[in-house]
Amino acid sequence: MNKKTPMKPDEIRGALAKRGIQQSGLARDLDVVKSVISQVITGKTVSYRVQCHIAKAIGRPVEEVFTIKPNPTRKGRPLGRGLFHRREHEKSL
């Protein structure tokens, strides 16, 4: 199987510039700040919606532009319990 390597950030910026598309314009289209576009291009932030929009803007499949996980899952902080456990608080009442 021949896997294509994703584009490098400079290649993505170059492809956007070649088509006359600015990052601020993409940000406006997606209703995000320009720094989000920059972070997605450099790989510091992952947003499938932004990646798809950038790929469409340069006329290439998203898989050729970015590394896409086969089954992306959302990871983040677990839900917090606050400053104390509920059971302990209820006992003290």
Quick one: DSSP state of residue 7?
Answer: P
Among the listed residues 39, 16, 48, the one whose alpha carbon sits nearest the alpha carbon of residue 25: 16
Structural tokens at position 24? 């601020």
For 90, the token pair is 């209820």
pLDDT, one tens digit per residue, over 35-76 is 999 999 999 988 999 999 999 999 999 999 998 876 555 555
pLDDT more than 70, % of the chain: 71
List the structure tokens of 53.
């929009």
Percent of the chain whose pLDDT exceeds 90: 61
What architecture does CATH give domain 1-69? Answer: Orthogonal Bundle (1.10)
Indicate the pTM of the whole model: 0.71
**Would you state the structure tokens that stand for residue 44, as one six-digit string?**
């510091």
Residues 43, 81: Cα–Cα separation, whole Å:
32
Q: Residue ranges of the domains in the chain?
A: 1-69
Contact 11, 1 (CB under 8 A): no
pLDDT at res. 1 = 39
Mean pLDDT of 7-30: 95
